[in-house]
Amino acid sequence: MAGTITSGAEVTHVSKHGFWLLLDAEELLVPFGEFPWFKKATIEQLSDVQWPTQDHLYWPQLDADLSVESIRNPAAFPLLSKTAG
């Protein structure tokens, strides 16, 4: 099947600032400042990551999806929040 990833994503390190994700030969920092929904996740939840397509990551225990490109270039994907006001 075209687009199917044969190797998996792997969390290689977790710190108070974020976690590092290995995708084949590329290691990416996922900083909690840019991706706050991961900050209170357990290591088990962070490590349970699926990489179904080249640009899609999914954490089933957190019900979180991310584009790989949003990790590489978070400024291109600004977080927006609606607050009651």
Helix, coil or strand: residue 12: strand
CB 46 within 8 A of CB 19: yes
Confidence of residue 3 (pLDDT cuts 50, 70, 90): low
Q: How far apart are CA 85 and CA 78, in angstroms?
A: 21
Q: How far apart are CA 3 and CA 45, in angstroms?
A: 25
pTM over 0.85: no
Confidence of residue 5 (pLDDT cuts 50, 70, 90): very low
Confidence of residue 1 (pLDDT cuts 50, 70, 90): very low
* Domains delineated in the chain: 9-76 (3.30.2020)
